[in-house]
């Protein structure tokens, strides 16, 4: 069973997951969200889904930022932490995957960082960049591969960060797009810090041991984006 209709949910429709698994991919995904109605909608849907699927493995997608104790938590992150607590209380077979910036197909008005940078450069729209902002990323299809492997090889009642092991400076992400698109971005640099560090040692070990076939590292983002944009 798959709950949701976004890119992540649609990608899971093509996965090899069994009927004993419920994928909850219908949560609030915009980390800038402050709408209590959106938070309440997810909470109510989550509780109903948990009650109706108590016998299944339950997969939920949270945020990597929760793993960084020092990172300031806004309403969105507090909401995600609350959702994790509800799952732990109501499910005996949960898998909580904390994810960073996801990217898949490029869609106009899709409010993810990678999509925003792409459309801003492609349509010559001016935007701001924090000079000390860093982000982890992962491509949606790699999320599927990792989740499938954890469900197959790892016991339930677990919480894990899944992300490319290299942390990118946001300015570097912009420059990667400039190189691939052969276009100059129109941006202004703002002096502000926004970053955290993840310990992805266990994930890296798991990916290698299970031979999942994902080449994490500094070149990961550029290689994935070239594939999506059909650039050699």
Predicted local distance difference test score (pLDDT) of residue 28: 81
Q: What would the pLDDT profile of 81-129 be if each residue is shown by its tens digit?
A: 999 999 999 999 999 999 999 998 887 656 789 999 999 999 999 999 9
Residues of the domain holding 195 = 2-228
Predicted local distance difference test score (pLDDT) of residue 30: 80
Predicted local distance difference test score (pLDDT) of residue 26: 85
> Is residue 60 classed exposed, middle or buried when 0-12, 13-18 and 19+ CB atoms within 10 A define those classes?
buried
Listing DSSP states for the chain in one string gives -EE--SHHHHHHTTS---TTEEEE--S---TT---HHHHHHHHHHHHHHHHHTTTSEEEEEEEGGGG-TTS---HHHHHHHHHHHHHHHH-SSEEEEEE-EEE-S--TT--SHHHHHHHHHHTT--EEEEEEEEE-EEEHHHHHHHHHHHHHHS-SSEEEE---SSPEEHHHHHHHHHHHHT----EEEEEEEE------HHHHHHHHHTT-----STTHHHHHHHHHTT--
Predicted local distance difference test score (pLDDT) of residue 27: 80
What global pTM score does this model have?
0.93
Q: What integer best gives the mean pLDDT of the chain?
A: 92
> Structural domain tally of the chain?
1
Structure tokens at 8: 């992540």
Q: What would the pLDDT profile of 131-140 be if each residue is shown by its tens digit?
A: 999 999 999 9
Q: What would the pLDDT profile of 10-50 be if each residue is shown by its tens digit?
A: 888 888 777 899 999 988 878 888 889 999 999 999 999 99
Q: What would the pLDDT profile of 196-231 be if each residue is shown by its tens digit?
A: 999 999 999 999 999 999 999 999 999 999 988 888
Question: Residue 67 and residue 96: Cα distance in Å, rounded?
Answer: 12
Question: Residue 110 and residue 159: Cα distance in Å, rounded?
Answer: 27
CATH of the domain at 161: 3.40.50.720
User: Nearest to residue 216, comparing CAs of 173, 170, 157, 162?
Assistant: 162
Q: What would the pLDDT profile of 141-200 be if each residue is shown by its tens digit?
A: 999 999 999 999 999 999 999 999 999 999 999 999 999 999 999 999 999 999 999 999
């Amino acid at each position: 069973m798959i709950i949701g209709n976004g890119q992540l949910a649609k990608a899971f429709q093509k996965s090899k997951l069994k009927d004993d698994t419920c994928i909850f991919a219908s949560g609030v995904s915009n980390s800038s969200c402050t709408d209590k109605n959106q938070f309440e909608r997810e909470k109510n849907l989550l509780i109903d889904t948990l009650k109706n699927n108590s016998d299944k493995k339950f997969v939920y997608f949270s945020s990597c930022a929760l793993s960084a104790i020092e990172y300031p938590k806004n309403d969105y992150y507090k909401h995600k932490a609350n959702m994790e607590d509800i799952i732990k209380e109501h499910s005996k077979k949960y898998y909580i995957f904390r994810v960073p910036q996801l990217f898949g197909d490029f869609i106009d008005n899709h409010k993810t960082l990678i999509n925003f940078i792409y459309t801003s450069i492609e349509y010559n729209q001016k935007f701001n960049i924090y000079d000390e902002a860093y982000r982890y990323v992962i491509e949606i299809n790699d999320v599927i591969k990792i989740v499938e492997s954890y469900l197959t090889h790892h016991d339930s009642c677990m919480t894990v960060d899944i992300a490319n092991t290299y942390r990118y400076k946001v300015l570097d992400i912009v420059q990667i797009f400039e190189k691939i698109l052969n276009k100059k971005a129109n941006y202004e640099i703002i002096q502000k810090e926004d970053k955290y560090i993840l310990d992805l040692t266990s994930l890296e070990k798991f990916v290698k041991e299970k031979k999942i076939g994902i080449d994490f590292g500094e070149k990961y983002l550029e290689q994935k984006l070239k594939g999506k944009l059909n650039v050699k």
